Amino acid sequence: MTTPMTGNMADQALRARALKVVPGGMYGHESTVLLPASYPQFFSRAEGAYIWDVDGNRYLDFMCAYGPNLLGYNNARVNDVAVAQLALGDTMTGPSAHFVDLAEALVGMVSHADWAMFCKNGTDATTMAMTTARAQTGKRRVLVAEGAYHGAAPWCTPMPGGIVPEERAFISKYQFNDIASLEAAVAAAGDDLAAIFAAPFKHDAFVDQFLPDPAYARRVRELCDQTGAMLVVDDVRAGFRLIRDCSWELVGVRPDLSCWGKSFANGHPISALLGSDSCREGASQIYATGSFWFAAVPMAAGVETLKILRESDYLEQSVRLGSQWRAGLDALAAKHGFALRQTGPVQMPQILFEDDPDFRVGFAWGEAMLRRGVYVHPWHNMFFCAAMTEADIAFALEAADDALGALRAQRATLEPHPVVMMMLGALAGEH
């Protein structure tokens, strides 16, 4: 049942060339130094739930491009609309009519939102949320949860390279789901609190995931109301994967601002800041723009994607398949003598091994699955897409059965991975 691999010669050749013309050969979350050595760096094609590396190896992809693939790669309805718009025009001297269509569609779906602004990446949206909150309130301090990822700008990047402390002078930390730490951070901010950022659920890398305690979410809202600060939900990763609305509708809390990206145009490059009337004035004061932010193709793709989200059962299906995957994996882990910690919503699963502090088992599991044609991640939450089928889950479970069996035999000989140790050390230092 192991997928025959055609080697990794093309990947290796590209890596060698990249090393000469790209610092480190790759950067950020795409850097394969953060992944087991056999993971491919370069891909040639993606279709439905599958990706092919440049050597022609096919993988069932549980990463979905780290989130953007929601309906399946190369979704015909979305891409037909995108190609038709491309023939008419993409980046022009101003936006197309889709700009207004897309803003209307998002405001129509997201309960707290009265307006939308578009940008390119999630970091653009979270940074604009911060500046909007400051413009609206005239205050400076911004609270973020310890360990939460909000992007790669100096105010929020998890890695310290090239950042000076002054760039984070008005950023303070609190603990997700911990009301006392939140209240202490709010009190310390005095009368200078501009915003509280919240992840829809705790989806930090390397650790178990936690859903928001509704009492914590309600307290965030109350504290914002008492201080005049803006509540920002960063839905860049989880947006439309938990509910067809802002994720905190699930706990009955409406933010002033929400940040969106990754998936609402099914992989076409666009992100958005959505806001309530409570900060429309602030949003109209900030200077936010970019050469590619008004491109028509991703906006057309976004309008079509949202239509499909409203019409289809993509969400219910991903929950059903996610539950099958979780239950099946638990049974297989038990069969082979492993204990898994499977956390987060089933359609955005985090899969960690018990008693694996340096991730050596997780890394070996990733490599064993990869060899069997399934791309899983050893320390980042994964994603389901609507193109996955029961047959795909059966294929993945068969691969997992085989992989865990092989891993059991190998377990005593596994070594820790030096780059993971370095990364965990850097993250610990950052906190």
Distance from C-alpha of 336 to C-alpha of 406, rounded to nearest angstrom = 9
Output the CA torsion sign for 115, 119, 120, 125: negative
Contact between 261 and ligand PMP by CB under 6 A: the answer reads yes
In angstroms, the Cα distances linking 10 to 5, 6, 32, 55, 367 are 13, 10, 15, 6, 18
Please report, as a single letter, which amino acid is at residue 230: M
Q: Cβ closer to ligand PMP: 118 or 149? A: 149
Please choose, from the candidates 349, 352, 359, the residue with its C-alpha nearest in 3D space to the C-alpha of residue 63. Answer: 349
**For ligand PMP, what does the binding mask look like between residues 63 and 92, x meaning CB under 6 A?**
---x--------------------------
Q: Which 134-163 residues touch ligand PMP, going by CB under 6 A?
A: 149-151
Instruction: Specify the stretch interacting with ligand PMP by CB under 6 A; choose among 4-12, 117-125, 221-229, 305-313.
Output: 117-125
Residue 203, token pair as written in the block: 């989806």
Q: How many positions of this chain bind ligand PMP (CB under 6 A)?
A: 13
For ligand PMP, which residue of 57, 96, 126, 177 counts as binding (CB under 6 A)? 126
Please choose, from the candidates 303, 284, 327, the residue with its C-alpha nearest in 3D space to the C-alpha of residue 103. Answer: 303
Could you give phi then psi for residue 352, rounded to 5 degrees? -120, 155
For ligand PMP, which residue of 139, 237, 241, 372 counts as binding (CB under 6 A)? 237
Contact between 234 and ligand PMP by CB under 6 A: the answer reads yes
For ligand PMP, which residue of 236, 257, 270, 386 counts as binding (CB under 6 A)? 236
Contact between 344 and ligand PMP by CB under 6 A: the answer reads no
**For ligand PMP, what does the binding mask look like between residues 187 and 206, x meaning CB under 6 A?**
------------x-------
Minimum CB–partner distance for residue 413 and ligand PMP (Å): 34
Distance from C-alpha of 71 to C-alpha of 310, rounded to nearest angstrom = 12
Residue 194, token pair as written in the block: 């501009």
Q: Cβ closer to ligand PMP: 126 or 209? A: 126
Contact 211, 198 (CB under 8 A): no
Q: Strands 257-260, 141-145: parallel, antiparallel or unpaired by DSSP?
A: unpaired
Contact between 123 and ligand PMP by CB under 6 A: the answer reads yes
Binding site residues, ligand PMP, CB under 6 A: 66, 121-123, 126, 149-151, 199, 234, 236-237, 261
